[in-house]
A and B are shown apart, each in its own frame.
Chain A
Amino acid sequence: GQNIDQPTEMTATEGAIVQINCTYQTSGFNGLFWYQQHAGEAPTFLSYNVLDGLEEKGRFSSFLSRSKGYSYLLLKELQMKDSASYLCAVRGAGNKLTFGGGTRVLVKP
């Protein structure tokens, strides 16, 4: 089976940086995804890591260490609109994408 852990909630100030950690245990690994989800809305794709290292996309970066079963999503220059849940998801054996419970990020002025 798969187990994905991420913090439940984080608070940060507008303009600051926040790092959301995700640890996973999986039978088989075929990639890790990060999604953003505003309340009541559809998740939207942010990033995809399949090899170790850092992937940068504008204000968002994602890091993966397969040997440690660890990833993080880094949000820079936080804006109020970044207040949302951030979902870590792992694609394991059988091509199934399993989501963590999500981290709710609250950005304060």
Chain B
Amino acid sequence: NAGVTQTPKFQVLKTGQSMTLQCAQDMNHNSMYWYRQDPGMGLRLIYYSASEGTTDKGEVPNGYNVSRLNKREFSLRLESAAPSQTSVYFCASSEQHLFYNEQFFGPGTRLTVL
């Protein structure tokens, strides 16, 4: 099992460009999450999908969109990238969207917006 995989690992964008971050899990989990990690701020939830067919906003959703493509895949799209979106992005999954369920994290995507 690969667990949670993310592509790409690194990306540099110019302001205004768009891109999609891909995430896939092979653990048959129902719930998936996108976080961003910034120095001194821990992890902040951008969007999540409690189950296939549903998505909801997290703490910092502005400037992002998500798609739960199927049970395995959850993508994050930046329509018009801004320097404030320079960050490390983590995808995670859990069996159910319940606060006591362990979340499993991917290796992250390091995004720089110039």
Are A and B bound to each other?
no
A residues at B contact (CB < 8 Å): none
